[in-house]
Amino acid sequence: MITEGTYPYAIGGVSSWCDAVIGGLEDIGWEILPIVAGAKRRRQHFELPPNARLLRPIELWSHGPAPRGVPGRRAHPNASIPAQLLRGLLPWHGDLDALTAALVQCRRFPDDVRRAFRTRDCWQAYLSALQDILELDDEDSAPAPAYDAIEAARLYQLLYWIARTAAVPTPRCSLLHVTAAGWATIPALVHKALEGTPMLLTEHGVYVREAYLASVRDTSASRGERHMSTRIALGLTRAAYATADAIAPVTEANAQWERGLGADPEKIRVIPNGIHPVGEPLAPPNAARVIALGRIDPLKDVQTMLLVADEVARRMPQARFEYWGPPTPGEELYAHACERMRLRLGLGERFRFMGRTSDPHGVIRSGDLVLMTSISEAMPMALLEAMAQGRPAVATSVGGVPGVLHGCGIVTAPGDVHRLASAVTTLLRNPGLAAQLGRRGYERLHQSYTLERCAEAYGTLIDQLTCGAPA
């Protein structure tokens, strides 16, 4: 299993899903290869089950030593590698064969990656390829912006880290399980090209969609930087879809994106998330307490939640909001901005950031309803946890949320502060309605979203892939 910025070093829905699936498939041995940012010491938030082993992480943007090859296996630095990577990733329709060949070259001769990127020939070949690609007239895409010298150098550095990621050796295995169609694709693509090992891609969010959203949010980025980040994400995503033998999104909403981005519909099999049922739910405390559970991240749109809390407070001064979860690594500035906004709105004790929790079920039981204001989701584990506790949810209509909450919660458009606040107020003022929706959610979870059903579906798919049967 190849993870990217999640399991076992980060708290969140994807990490919880990884841990649940690994533990739920006890008869399968797992080796976990995390891709992480930087070489800093990091806390492992999940204790791996006995059937899993943690491999040394691939560290991006670090000053650690580059991957080393077999002594004696040397080649002259291949000046075409950056240009080949560029042709595979930057155009609207990238050259997958060129990309694969370049990545395989990096794996076979890892000692030459750094040497190659430091040569003048490599840089000149890259600049020539970049100019050709930016001048392409592709009818499916808008004209590319011109890159200045700084943007060209940043893209070159990005390609270097892609090459270094490809150079890291991967152990022999029966199946490559990639948990995101981004950087985690790179080692798997190389391994499959060399060994023929089947590859399973599971998508929780749609990688390229979230890259588009991040690009729109980053108002300080230049046109070239936005073009670079979104095109590399698109190139990696399309490479993942083309290489995978099976694609297992957690919701039909993701499957629609995958088909639209060129994934073979025959490869796609939707497998919804699942969690362990926890017995009969306890009665809510009727304390006008609203619970939010998740990372502090722009995709969660915490600032909209603060505005919702402010509007609810005018209608129900006794209402209290608790946000449980840490900032996403790299989003500390966003977390600080949210705290400043909380202070500016004068919410005080009416909205509190509670930090991490090791007991999400207990946190949800302590509240009357769960609130989610995300602008992007797939099938949030927090909603399933709310259903397991018999708590209704108010959430935004993104990803698979409408299907999960149909008939057992209230769904509104993203960013609609007034409707979100009205939904929260309605449920807090009508405990009978809240209890009815919570009970429906509890029953739906037991019917459709148990971990047993989820693990069984993945186990069947893994058996088909490793036995050579069509998925």
Q: Which residues contact 290 (CB under 8 A, 6 or more apart)?
A: 309, 312, 319, 320, 321, 322, 367, 368, 369, 370, 371, 424, 428
The pLDDT assigned to 40 comes to 76
Q: 100-128, pLDDT tens digit by residue?
A: 999 999 999 999 999 999 999 999 999 99
Predicted confidence (pLDDT) per residue in 316-335, tens digit: 999 999 999 999 988 999 99
What is 2-267's CATH number?
Answer: 3.40.50
Output the six-digit token pair for 197. 């090992």
Per-residue pLDDT tens over the stretch 76-95: 568 899 999 999 999 999 99
Q: What pLDDT is attached to residue 66?
A: 64
Say how far apart CA 410 and CA 395 lie, in whole Å: 6
If one compares 400 and 11, the residue with the highest pLDDT of the two is: 400
Residue 385 CA to residue 390 CA, distance in Å, equals 9
Q: Examine the pLDDT at 69 and tell me if it is beyond 70.
A: no
Question: Is a pLDDT exceeding 90 seen at residue 176?
Answer: yes
Q: Residue 205's closest CA among 14, 372, 373, 378? A: 378
Give yes or no for residue 75 having a pLDDT over 60.
no
The single-letter code of the amino acid at 309 is A
Token output for 453: 């059903």
Number of other residues whose CB lies within 10 A of the CB of residue 199: 21
Residue 467 CA: distances (Å) to CA of 80, 220, 247: 38, 50, 17
The stretch 373-391 carries a mean pLDDT of 96
316/309 Cα distance (integer angstroms): 10
| Residue with tokens 């509240």, as numbered in its chain | 367
Amino acid at 45: H
- Where is pLDDT greater, at 323 or 37? 323
CATH superfamily of 289-448: Glycogen Phosphorylase B; (3.40.50.2000)
Instruction: Evaluate if residue 302 carries a pLDDT over 70.
Output: yes
The pLDDT score that the predictor gives to residue 256 is 97
**What's the CA gap between 372 and 395, in Å, rounded?**
5
User: Any idea of the CA torsion for 110, 111, 117, 122, to the nearest 10 degrees?
Assistant: -90
Domain limits of the chain? 2-267, 289-448
State residue 71's pLDDT score.
47
Q: Identical fold at 2-267 and 289-448?
A: yes
